[in-house]
Copies of this chain bind each other. A is one copy, B any other.
Amino acid sequence: VTYDTLQCVDGHSRKRARSSSPRPARSRAPRTSETDGGSRAERKRRTREALIAAAFRMLERHSFDRLSLREVAREAGVVPTAFYRHFENMDALGLVLVDESFRTLRDLLRDARTGALEPERIIRSSVQILVRHTHEHRQQFRFIARERYSGVTTLRYAIRSEIRLFASELATDLARFPGLNRWTTEDLNMMAGLIVNTMVSTVEGILDAPLDSPVAEDEIIRIAEKQLILVALGAAQWRVID
């Protein structure tokens, strides 16, 4: 459905256009009481979620910078102006996406905390958890990886500060390990940063690997494990120069 038509700024042709072309039926499914129950507030919430989901879906193919308000609204099955009932503008939507994405990232950390304790096994299981979450929340992970260094300043800063927060949570977890409990905060954050970087690049590797190629994914996993083991080995020696 096209809402705009280019016309002469001229009363006659405008009137003609109005009367000559009867409106075509809406192409999306009409709302029925069957598909569309709930209170007004509930339905508003659903539209909001539809906009968020639409944005995430489109972000698999484009950067946020490229998304247009109209595209998102269209994908959500809603008229462009309805967007404004939920978000002030696209930036506001972007910040909500950052929030949602990092909420799922924190779940990952919580999952990982319940893992095994020996250094070698904890790395294996952590990478496993990372891979599982990556597949379960492809859209959120892709969004973070893509926009971390993006051209949209607002998002870049929001993600940067969330990643810093995430890294310092990870640092707190690291501090519980026998060899690391005497480290300075800066050093723990330094190591956490190294781990987070490795995680992010692993995630991107998995997301961009051919979906049907478990071989490529296995290689990415093997390399990630080795990288983390290398870091752990380095950490074990760190006291030497501390």
Question: A149 with B145: in contact, given A227-B193, A236-B237 (CB under 8 Å)?
Answer: yes
Contact with B along A44-81 (1 / 0, CB 8 A): 00000000000000010111111000000000000000
Question: Is A1 on the interface with B (CB-CB < 8 A)?
Answer: no
Question: Is A215 on the interface with B (CB-CB < 8 A)?
Answer: no
- Chain B residues closer than 8 Å to A237, beta-carbon distance: 233-234, 236-237
- Least CB distance from A161 to B in Å reads 12
Assembled-state Cα–Cα distance A190/B202 (Å):
12
- Least CB distance from A54 to B in Å reads 16
- Least CB distance from A187 to B in Å reads 7
- Chain B residues closer than 8 Å to A152, beta-carbon distance: 63
Question: Is A25 on the interface with B (CB-CB < 8 A)?
Answer: no
Q: Kindly identify which residue among B10, B194, B236 contacts A8, using a CB–CB cutoff of 8 Å.
A: B10
Question: A190 with B223: in contact, given A8-B10, A146-B150, A238-B233 (CB under 8 Å)?
Answer: yes
Instruction: Using CB atoms, name the residue of chain B closest to A7.
Output: B8
- A contacts with B, residue count (CB < 8 A): 46
- Least CB distance from A101 to B in Å reads 14
- Least CB distance from A174 to B in Å reads 12
- Least CB distance from A53 to B in Å reads 18
Question: Is A204 on the interface with B (CB-CB < 8 A)?
Answer: yes
- Least CB distance from A56 to B in Å reads 13
Question: A223 with B193: in contact, given A229-B241, A241-B229 (CB under 8 Å)?
Answer: yes
Question: Is A92 on the interface with B (CB-CB < 8 A)?
Answer: no
- Chain B residues closer than 8 Å to A104, beta-carbon distance: none
Instruction: Using CB atoms, name the residue of chain B closest to A8.
Output: B8
Interface pair A149/B149, CB less than 8 Å apart: yes
Instruction: Using CB atoms, name the residue of chain B closest to A224.
Output: B190
- Least CB distance from A94 to B in Å reads 13
Interface pair A238/B230, CB less than 8 Å apart: yes
Question: Is A108 on the interface with B (CB-CB < 8 A)?
Answer: no
- Chain B residues closer than 8 Å to A66, beta-carbon distance: 63, 65-66, 151
A to B CB contacts below 8 Å, 19 in the list: A8-B9, A59-B151, A61-B151, A63-B63, A63-B66, A63-B150, A66-B66, A146-B151, A148-B149, A189-B223, A193-B201, A193-B227, A194-B198, A194-B227, A194-B230, A197-B201, A230-B235, A233-B233, A233-B234
